[in-house]
Amino acid sequence: MRPVDRNPFRLRAVVIALALVVGGAVAFFTFVAPKHLAGPMPLGIAPQEVKALAGWLDRDRPATTAPDLPVYTLPAGPVPVRWSAAELHNGARSGPVRMRAGDGGAGAIELTTTDDGLLGPDPHIVLRPATTGDIRRKYLQVLAQELGLLTPDIAFVLVQRDGRAELFRREPVPDADWTARHGVLDAVPFRKGFDATRPDHLRPVVQADAGRAGMLADRLAGLCPGGVPAAVAVLQEQVDVDAVAAWLLMLHLEGGTHPMARAHPFYYREATGRIVPVYAHAEGPAPATGPTACDPFTPMLADPAFHARLQAHREHLLDVRGRLRERFAALDQALLPRLVGDGSIRLAQARAGAIADTLLDLRLGGPLAGLALAGEPVPPWGWAALQGGAAPAVAAIVDDDGAALAEIRRRYWIAMHGDTIVFRRAKYRLDEDLVLPAGHPVLMLSGARFEIGPGRSLVCQGPLEVRATSLNPVFVRAAHGAPFGAVAVRASGAEVRMQGLRMSGGAGGTVNGTELPAMLCIEGAARTEMADCHLDMEHAGDALLVDGGRLVLTGGRATGGRMLLRRVQGRVAGTELHAAGRPPARVGLHAAGGRLVVDSVRLAGDTDVALLAADGAQLLVTGAAFTGNATAVRCGDMSAVHVDASHFERNGRAFHVPLPGGEDPAGRFVLYTNTFIGNDREQDAEVPGSVERRTGLDAAVRSAFGVR
Amino acid sequence: MSGRRGSGKAGTGLLAVLTIVPLVAAAAVLGPERAWAIARAAVGTALCDPMAEDTPRHRIPEVHLAPSPDDHRQGTWHDGASAVHFNQGDAFISLERTTPIVPVRHLVIAHRGMADMVQAHLALWAAGRMGVLTTWAAPVWHATPGGPGAVKWLHEAPSPDYLADRGFAGASAVFVRHANGRWAVLSGTDGTPALDTLAAILADSARSLMDRRDALARTIDVEAALRCAAVMEALPPAPVRPLWTRIPPQDRWAPVLDVSYGFRDGGDDPILAALEAEPEWQARKLDLMREAHHLLVDRGALVGELDRVVAAMRPSLRADRDKLGRLAENDTNLMRIPLARVEDELARLRDRLTAQGADDHEAR
């Protein structure tokens, strides 16, 4: 047998080996430039080992001044998981707060207060333990602000509890107060995620407003019908394209897998009707990356124009990259000494530099490959049941029951004030007929903008008030260019007041078998007051129908369509009626029955008849101007028209009395002092004796029409 | 030589004494039952589960409950992202609010067999993919302070907050199910009149076919129900059952697929049966079954999801010292089985799904 070689334990060799390893490590951490410590280390050296060694050898720590930070003193003990009242001391101030454990990892504290300024500018904040890596969040905040995005402002505070002061990152919760403080007063914040497997991502989460959540859910579902994104043009109408481009660029810069899978904050602007994203850094553990549901944002990446916007944002950041580096350096100087604490400031600076290089060089300067979603978007889980539960094509709601009203409030952005249905400053898109419950007053406030789908109508079955001005009107427009039906008030004895209404694009329609013959129909109202309302017809049809009751129509104008006033008593003053339109109106003002004062009205254009009195109407026309019409005034069966101080110019004929159709007596003109310039004929009376001339209005006529 | 042999015997005796005496002492201190349980677990661990790992890096959510010292039925729920107050009732745990990890509030934590968990997950996943509402469920690592953790099945309990947790603020869900010839209201009471209406329509044999069809279409979300029926029929048998709830704003009954442990003998669902009696709706269901095959089986999505979820659970499963592979047949007691057998079951499940896709492809 071969003897086994003796291999004695050699202590000297072991000591030399240890000395070599330790000496090498000391030399490495002494002489290596700090920036080389920032990246991943070879040979399985963990980051915490690098941190420990670098801190131990960080002998020549540069002189830095840690900034003074607010100190929040909170009660001792663990943070309650439920909302609990507590007393918070912030420097010289103290006040009541409510606190609970926050989301996003261990140690998070959510605070809210009603004491203005106690928690800084925001009364609802989340505190999370600060780490050195928070400098990256601060960098990203700077980039988002440079792009013009709303983003929660990150600050740092010292939280004193149990006799210890710890550094926390302070972030506001992006709620309605927060958006209002940032100058967006018409914002409705909500959260929405696009992880197809998460039930809480099915619908947007709107704090304390179920109606708006339903409306937003319908709107978002409409942008991805059946899980397939709508056409880019449609998407771009519903979102703030520029902000979305900047936001997607920020998600690219932030990195991470499946950025759309987590819930993001957004807000809906009532004035513009568009969805705007808020940039907020991801918090807590990365979500499980299940299939991603269709979102209305990323499909726009396929649009070259949108991609150009995104590139423009990117180039802007590249242009100001030098200034951004300076801001990052200033942040390093101000924040890193606090964030590092007793750790190695050099190592932290090196890591911050590496982060800045990654953001500004690698990601911003590199290809935009990360913006594409991984895989094909799928419909969110359970979508069929929710789609099946969507509203029917026609909301045939005629009964005033709570369920119907709740449904309307849920689907449309409608507020209630008592029993009054209030359309506030917002964009309302009606893709189905909307029949408001009977008896409920309806108030439309300035800035409300209605976009009504083809053939669809809005029907109020109670008093209506449009409270707007010419500078800040209420708009009613066709949604897609094709004419909508009508806006109608059908309520017996109701009062209608309209001021500052701007309506165009309607042509009359039918709702539940009821014909609405004009773009604006008011039927059965006891009193109608309209001031400074513009009704512009873009399609064939009548602009206005007022059937019954008293009418006071002041100022405003109607173009391209007839104003049909049926059995009304009252006054039309200072209104302009133009025939111009596609096609021009055949009749300007049509009074069918009733008694009406037409005062200082201008009727101009290529109408067949500018003013038609029929069915026994009695009109007093004074101070009016008729220009360029085939017939200025026609007085039909049984009607009587008094014309005084009016101006007729370039008309085919000024007055026309046609032969009566049956046994009814013919119409009758009573003419006072008027001026005639360039008319083909002054009068065309087919019935002898139907035109009477007088020198001045007598008291009986004045009394009959209620004028002085 | 004899001296060396004598010292060897003494050493062996000393070793035996040192081994046996502590064991006897431990058995005396612990009691025979606990000592036997420990010995059995030690042998089982050593022999049956050579794949066991001590400190895995869990890829499924880790949850643990910290009961209040004053009242063990409430306390703090920790899931890695949040700490939330919980109340523990007889049936389920109620969280005060949802968290980024757990998006629903009413939960049951249950021991389930690995294969059962995976099958249930696949069924809910497939149903959701086809647009059917389901209850939420996920495998989790349930850490128990002072004891070993275990892989458990965290699933949503049908509750009135089902709709509120899905963004229908203010809506209260009513859940009903049909089992053993009668309807049962599982949660909520507001739906009782609507349930009576539904039951009356289903039971009314005097209606004309058209009238019955119209009544069903007004009362039930037919498309969602047919999708549910298609998924249940198209995919391999899974422990799921349809519950019925009313979805706002139209308040029509729609199915919610739920995990149905212990309810496998409930019989056919009368709503689905009534819908399938209509030729047009039956044809629609067949279309949807084809769609389900195309989406989930032909494209390999289901097998892909199986692989994903098993890969996510595997590290935690190997650290599960209880090894609750599955429920014993005809027995409510839990049975320990080796991980190798669990892996074998999963492999057979995968083979079955793959073969189903291949068979369907050939049949077409």
- With beta carbons under 8 A apart, name residues in chain A contacting B99: 103
Asked if the model's pLDDT at residue A374 lies above 60, the reply is no
**How many residues does the structure list for chain B?**
364
Q: Is B287 helix (H, G, I), strand (E, B) or coil?
A: helix
Q: What share of chain B is helix, strand, coil (3-state, %, to 5)?
A: 45, 20, 35
Q: Extract the runs of DSSP E, i.e. beta strands, from chain B.
A: 62-67, 74-78, 83-88, 93-95, 106-110, 133-134, 137-142, 150-156, 175-179, 182-187, 240-247, 252-259, 326-327, 334-335
pLDDT averaged over chain A? 83
User: Contacts for B174-179 with beta carbons within 8 Å, 24 or more apart?
Assistant: B174/B245, B174/B246, B175/B243, B175/B244, B175/B245, B175/B256, B176/B243, B176/B244, B176/B245, B177/B241, B177/B242, B177/B243, B177/B244, B177/B263, B177/B266, B178/B266, B178/B267, B178/B269, B178/B270, B178/B271, B179/B263, B179/B266, B179/B267
Q: Exposed/middle/buried for A342, CB within 10 Å: 0-12, 13-18, 19+?
A: exposed
Q: Exposed/middle/buried for A435, CB within 10 Å: 0-12, 13-18, 19+?
A: buried
Give ∠ CA A476-A482-A485 in degrees, rounded to 5.
55
CB contact under 8 A, B128 and A197: yes
Instruction: Give the residue among A464, A548, A537, A470 at the shortest CA–CA distance from A506.
Output: A537
Axis crossing angle, helix A47-56 with helix A345-357, rounded to the nearest 10: 130
pLDDT score, position A660? 76
Can you tell me the distance from the alpha carbon of A537 to that of A526, in angstroms, rounded to the nearest whole number?
26
Can you tell me the distance from the alpha carbon of A169 to that of A104, in angstroms, rounded to the nearest whole number?
12
Distance from the Cα of A449 to chain B's closest Cα (Å) equals 25
pLDDT score, position A546? 92
pLDDT score, position A393? 28
Phi–psi pair at A500, nearest 5 degrees: 75, 30
pLDDT score, position B36? 74
Phi–psi pair at B142, nearest 5 degrees: -95, 105
Can you tell me the distance from the alpha carbon of B251 to that of A569, in angstroms, rounded to the nearest whole number?
47
pLDDT score, position B86? 92
Among A79, A84, A98, A103, most B C-beta atoms within 10 A, so best to mutate, is A103
Q: Which helix (H) or strand (E) holds A510?
A: strand A509-511
Write out pLDDT tens, residues B158-180. Answer: 898 998 888 887 788 888 888 77
Distance of CA A679 to the CA centre of its chain: 53
The amino acid sitting at A572 is V
Question: pLDDT band for position B262 (50/70/90)?
Answer: low
Question: pLDDT band for position B267 (50/70/90)?
Answer: low
CB contact under 8 A, A200 and B165: yes
Are B149 and B142 in contact by the 8 Å Cβ rule? The answer is yes
As beta bridge partners, residue A170 has A127, A155
Q: What's the DSSP call for residue A678? A: S
pLDDT score, position A688? 80
Q: Which residue of A has its CA nearest to B248?
A: A389
CB contact under 8 A, B100 and A411: no
Are A358 and A253 in contact by the 8 Å Cβ rule? The answer is no
Can you tell me the distance from the alpha carbon of B225 to that of B282, in angstroms, rounded to the nearest whole number?
11
Asked if the model's pLDDT at residue A562 lies above 70, the reply is yes
- With beta carbons under 8 A apart, name residues in chain A contacting B130: 384
Question: pLDDT band for position B334 (50/70/90)?
Answer: very low
Q: What's the DSSP call for residue A260? A: G
Q: What is the mean pLDDT of residues A173-181?
A: 88
Q: Which of A20-34, A55-69, A318-332, B340-354 has the highest mean pLDDT?
A: A318-332
Asked if the model's pLDDT at residue B324 lies above 70, the reply is no
B192 CB neighbour count, 10 Å cutoff: 13
Write out pLDDT tens, residues A245-279. Answer: 999 999 988 887 778 888 899 998 876 778 999 99
pLDDT score, position B339? 66
Q: What is the mean pLDDT of residues A279-303?
A: 79
Phi–psi pair at B127, nearest 5 degrees: -65, -45
Peptide bond before A583: cis, by omega within 30 degrees of 0? yes
Considering only CB atoms, B167 lies closest to which of A204, A208, A391, namely: A204
B361 CB neighbour count, 10 Å cutoff: 11
Q: What tokens were used for A195? A: 């992880």
Asked if the model's pLDDT at residue B264 lies above 80, the reply is no
B24 CB neighbour count, 10 Å cutoff: 11
Q: What is the mean pLDDT of residues A583-597?
A: 83
Phi–psi pair at B333, nearest 5 degrees: -75, 150
pLDDT score, position B214? 79
DSSP string, A431-473: SS-EEPPTT--EEEETT-EEEE-TT--EEE-S-EEEE--SSS-
Q: What tokens were used for A63? A: 């002189």
pLDDT averaged over chain B? 79
Q: What is the mean pLDDT of residues A449-474?
A: 90
pLDDT score, position A37? 62
What is the signed CA dihedral for B59, B65, B66, B70, rounded to 10 degrees?
Answer: 180
CB contact under 8 A, B100 and A385: no
- With beta carbons under 8 A apart, name residues in chain A contacting B77: 81
Considering only CB atoms, A105 lies closest to which of B81, B85, B255, namely: B81
Considering only CB atoms, A385 lies closest to which of B129, B133, B249, namely: B133
Write out pLDDT tens, residues A381-420. Answer: 888 777 644 332 223 334 445 667 777 777 777 888 878 8
Are A597 and A701 in contact by the 8 Å Cβ rule? The answer is no
Q: What is the mean pLDDT of residues A30-36?
A: 62
Asked if the model's pLDDT at residue B359 lies above 70, the reply is no
As beta bridge partners, residue B246 has B253
Write out pLDDT tens, residues B192-227. Answer: 788 888 888 888 888 777 778 878 888 898 889 999
Asked if the model's pLDDT at residue B99 lies above 50, the reply is yes
pLDDT score, position A151? 95
Residues from B in contact with A at Cβ < 8 Å: 76-77, 80-85, 96, 98-101, 103-104, 125, 127-134, 136, 165-171, 221-224, 227, 247-250, 252, 254-256
pLDDT score, position A611? 93
Question: pLDDT band for position A149 (50/70/90)?
Answer: very high
Write out pLDDT tens, residues A355-372. Answer: 898 888 888 887 776 555
Q: Exposed/middle/buried for A57, CB within 10 Å: 0-12, 13-18, 19+?
A: middle
pLDDT score, position A485? 92
Considering only CB atoms, A284 lies closest to which of B81, B84, B133, namely: B81
Tell me the longest C-alpha to C-alpha distance in chain A: 153
Can you tell me the distance from the alpha carbon of B73 to that of B95, in angstroms, rounded to the nearest whole number?
12
Instruction: Give the residue among A640, A639, A587, A590 at the shortest CA–CA distance from A615.
Output: A639
Q: What is the mean pLDDT of residues A204-220?
A: 72
Q: What is the mean pLDDT of residues B138-151?
A: 83
Q: Is B94 helix (H, G, I), strand (E, B) or coil?
A: strand
Question: pLDDT band for position B144 (50/70/90)?
Answer: confident
pLDDT score, position B50? 47
Can you tell me the distance from the alpha carbon of B154 to that of B109, in angstroms, rounded to the nearest whole number?
5
Lowest mean pLDDT across A64-73, A82-91, A194-203, A514-523: A64-73
Per residue, the 3-state secondary structure of A158-189, as one string, reads EEEECCEEEEEEEEECCCHHHHHHCCCCCEEE
CA distances from A577 to A468, A504, A580, A593, B222 (A): 21, 14, 9, 20, 53
Lowest mean pLDDT across A558-562, A632-636, B351-355: B351-355
Tokens 């003074």 correspond to A68
CA distances from A399 to A12, A408, A430, A677, B56 (A): 99, 12, 20, 56, 62
Asked if the model's pLDDT at residue B329 lies above 50, the reply is no
Strand pairing class (A509-511; A514-516):
antiparallel
pLDDT score, position A369? 60
Rg (CA), chain A: 37
pLDDT score, position A639? 86
Q: Which of A116-120, A302-306, A399-403, B102-106 has the highest mean pLDDT?
A: B102-106
Can you tell me the distance from the alpha carbon of A485 to that of A462, in angstroms, rounded to the nearest whole number?
19
The amino acid sitting at B207 is R
Q: What tokens were used for A512? A: 């539940």
pLDDT score, position B327? 38
CB contact under 8 A, A382 and B133: yes
Q: Who's near A123: CB < 8 A, 6+ residues apart?
A: A112, A113, A114, A115, A116, A177
CA distances from B360 to B293, B295, B319, B339, B356 (A): 8, 13, 38, 32, 6
What is the signed CA dihedral for A357, A358, A361, A366, rounded to 10 degrees?
Answer: 170
Axis crossing angle, helix B339-363 with helix B301-318, rounded to the nearest 10: 180
Tell me the pTM. Answer: 0.65
Write out pLDDT tens, residues A669-698. Answer: 999 999 999 999 888 877 787 888 888 888
A381 CB neighbour count, 10 Å cutoff: 28
A117 CB neighbour count, 10 Å cutoff: 12
Axis crossing angle, helix A304-319 with helix A134-146, rounded to the nearest 10: 110
pLDDT score, position A51? 65
- With beta carbons under 8 A apart, name residues in chain B contacting A385: 131-133, 221, 224, 247, 254-256
